Structure 1
Amino acid sequence: MTSEPAVAASEPARRTYSYLGPAGTFTEAALAQVPEARGQVWRPVRNVGEALADVVEGRSDAAMIAIENSVDGGVSTAQDALATVPGLRIVGEYLVPVEFVLVGRPGAALADVSLVAAHPVAYAQCLQWLTNALPGHAHIPAASNVASAMGLLDGSSDADAAIAPPGILEHHELELLASNIGDNANAVTRFVLVSRTVAPQPQTGADKTSLIVELPDDHPGALLEMLEQFATRGINLSLLASRPIGDALGRYRFVIDADGHIADERMADALMGLRRFSPRVIFLGSYPRADRAVVRYPDRYSDDVFVEARDWLRGLISGEPGDLT
């Protein structure tokens, strides 16, 4: 009697990650840095709203979105979406150098270029190079960095060349006309990986906490009162950006990145202070910094100091003498 062959154990379901597509974008380059995303399903989308909707509605497990650029500042569409779409949590950040290439149709030459397709932001970041290399050129705005190049191939663009990310050359047959044409060699875009709400990852010592905070009302010193919640606890802010709430002129919310983790005593204390102060505090997440730089702070703001002060107060309430060391 022969035994039945063993049934193979079912393979675990692959995870899905949404990113601003198509292939070859800076966002795809950021997603390539996520170890757990390798070998999984990558879902290209057309905009930030679609990426976050994928997460909220369960089509994707997480989405990679750009949130800040070292040259142009915060990405307002991403910041506004995180402020208005509930149920999201940042679980990681990734840095991508902003490099641009000039590409043309196969066989094209730089000397023949007079009309350049480019996303307006990319065009602005390459204007000095273009002025020097192609002083008589004209610009055709494109919907995205990849769309500028795709228009050359599908015939939808009259441009002779396009400004695009270097990754475009890995996916399409294009002529490389010039490399490293960006005017700022240190330009970097910061991306965040966003999932549905989950508990924060454990502390690493090199963490960042992201928040969105609204002021209670418009009065002199209101912003200072909010900032004091961090300053009096020794917490450094690496990002402070204002975005209009939209319900009236002069009403703003503040996008904040603070050095540290919600499990740090000083950060937890600051969040409680914000909660008492602000009508709306959105906790976006505590996660490892992309640069893995350890957060340094004076000894007077260590966790032990906060714990000792809290124990001291509890002792006073219970009737213990408070003047003993």
Structure 2
Amino acid sequence: MTSTREPSRPREERPAGPRVAFLGPEGTFASEAARLAAPDAARDALSSIGEILDAVRAETADLGVVPLENSIEGSVNLTLDELAFGEPGAMIRGEVTLPVTMNLLTRPGSQLSDIKAVRSQPHALAQCREWLETHLPAAQHDASTSTAEAAREAAESDGAVAALGTQLAAELYGLGVLARDVHDYPGNTTRFVLLSRSMHPATGADKTSLVVFFGEDRPGLLLRILEEFALRGINLTKIESRPTKQQLGEYCIFIDCAGHVSDARVGEALRSVHRHVANLRVLGSYPRADAVRETPPVTDTETAYEDARQWYEGLLSQVGEARGGSIDGGFAGGAGERRDG
């Protein structure tokens, strides 16, 4: 996909110390995720997911924080597309999961009966759809660029505009919390990924994300790709298709799997997948947010792969010229070739 943004410029001089870029302004869930990921870093609140990836590519930010998926609304397609089709140079280095608590924010003194419009980021509005239909059936739903921007707009209104957002946004913009926990489903959680110029070293509790472009469509191709992971005891935690934006009916597949690219079994699986499809992009290997260490079958442990490698190298060491000259004359021509005396 061709980007309409200006190409990333060479790195410019910037103040010393790590910097984290996130989807601003301050008061968004992304700003909270950035604080969790890099509490001591200087902060750059940017206006789009694309700008965050560009900042990482240009090395004007050491870390970028972008939303990847929500437990209610699913994947953030803008992030998936930037990772799959954007310029190289920004890889997933970590992840943060953040519980999402939606509150109805208004100017102090406003009542539900005063609210004519509710504003927020589109995903936030969708996560509170049922509550809004029950308690504010006549209110208009207006999309804003972020939950914090919606809070700012509500603060500047005459009291007839409410925002869906965080407690922090209410404090930043002088709003009251008219209703708490207005999201429709408990356990509402957003997964943010941390982007850097390089992948994180293996920790033993890792995850690898990749995207596979099929190119030529062949029967059974997806099955063969998935089997490469299954044969090595690698758990797939996510599989999702997205249009390639080239032609109707052409898709790429996003896969999250357990393990790190430096793990023998993951490396072997990726090499085997690459035999099936030439266009394979690894988006990153990184520590899992839940720190869960998966235990592979005994035949798929690192020890088992190392034992097999050493055995095979020993086997290859037995290939070579015979001592004392050639003894292969009678059969060196190949199997089945007759040599008459």
Q: What TM-score range do you get, normalising by the shorter chain? A: 0.7 to 0.9
Cα distance in 1 between the residues matched to 2:290 and 2:72: 18
Matched residue type, 2:135: A
Moved over 4 A (4+): none
Deviation of residue 106 (structure 1)?
2.3
Displacement of 1:81 after TM fit?
0.6
Structure 1, residues 236-255: CA drift from partner, whole Å, max 9, x if none?
Answer: 11111111212222222221
Is 1:13–2:22 an aligned residue pair? no
- Which range moves more in the overlay, 133-142 or 208-217? 133-142
Letter in 1 for 2:39: R
CA shift, 1:216, in A, is 4.2
Q: Which residue in 1 is equivalent to 2:247? A: 248
> Match for residue 128 of structure 2?
126
Aligned residues: 304
8 A contact 1:95–1:290 mirrored in 2: yes
Aligned residue for 2:65, secondary structure, equals strand
Instruction: In structure 1, list runs of 5 or more residues that go unmatched.
Output: 1-11, 321-325
Q: Is the 8 A contact 1:140 1:159 kept in 2?
A: no
Equivalent of residue 25 in structure 2, options 22, 25, 28: 22
CA-CA distance at 1:205 after TM superposition: 1.8
1:104 CA drift (Å): 0.7
Counterpart-to-counterpart distance in 2, 1:167 and 1:277: 49
1:309 match? 308
> Aligned ranges for residues 83-232 of structure 1 at < 5 Å?
83=84, 84-155=86-157, 159-196=160-197, 198=198, 200-232=199-231
Which blocks of at least 5 consecutive residues in structure 2 are unaligned? 1-14, 320-341
Output the CA distance in 2 between the equivalents of 1:132 and 1:245.
39
Contact residue 107 and residue 159 of structure 2 kept, 8 A? no
Out of 245-254 and 15-24, give the one that drifted further.
245-254
Structure 2: how far apart are the matches of 1:203 and 1:41?
26
Q: Distance in 1 between matches of 2:210 and 2:246?
A: 20
Relative to the length of structure 2, the TM-score reads 0.84
2:21–2:52 CA contact under 8 A, matched in 1: yes
Q: How far, CA to CA, are the matches of 2:302 and 2:222 in structure 1?
A: 26
Query: Partner of 1:32 in structure 2?
Result: 35
The change in CA–CA distance for 1:166 and 1:85 in structure 2 (over 3 A counts) is farther
Contact 1:265 1:306 in 2 (8 A): yes
How big is each residue's C-alpha offset from its partner over 1:255-289, in whole Å with a ceiling of 9 and x where there is no partner?
11111111211111111112222211212221110
Q: Which amino acid aligns with 2:282?
A: F
* Residue identity opposite 1:208 in structure 2: K
Looking at CA atoms only, which structure, 1 or 2, has the larger radius of gyration?
Answer: 2
SS of aligned partner of 1:272: helix
Most deviating of 168-177 and 109-118: 109-118
Can you list the C-alpha shifts for 1:122-152, whole angstroms capped at 9, x where unaligned?
A: 2221122223323433323333222222112
Could you report, residue by residue, the CA deviation over 1:68-103 in whole angstroms, capped at 9, with x for unpaired residues? 111122111111111122112211100011210001
Q: Structure 1's 101 and 13: CA in aligned 2 closer, same or farther, altered over 3 A?
A: same
CA distance, structure 1, for counterparts of residue 232 and residue 254 of structure 2: 19
- Displacement of 1:26 after TM fit? 0.8
Question: Contact (CA 8 Å) 2:69, 2:190: kept in 1 or not?
Answer: yes
Looking at structure 2, the residues matched to 236 and 65 of structure 1 have their Cα atoms a distance apart, in angstroms, of 25
Aligned equivalent of 1:8: none
Match of 1:3 in 2: none
- CA distance in 2 between partners of 1:50 and 1:307 (Å): 43
Change (3 A) 1:74 1:238: same
**How many percent of aligned residue pairs carry the same amino acid?**
39
CA deviations on 1:152-187 (whole Å, 9 max, x unpaired) are: 2234x8843121233212312001101100011111
Deviation readout 1:197-229 (Å, 9 max, x if unpaired): x2x433222111111221242111111111111
Helix, strand or coil at the partner of 1:180: coil
TM-score with structure 1 setting the length? 0.88
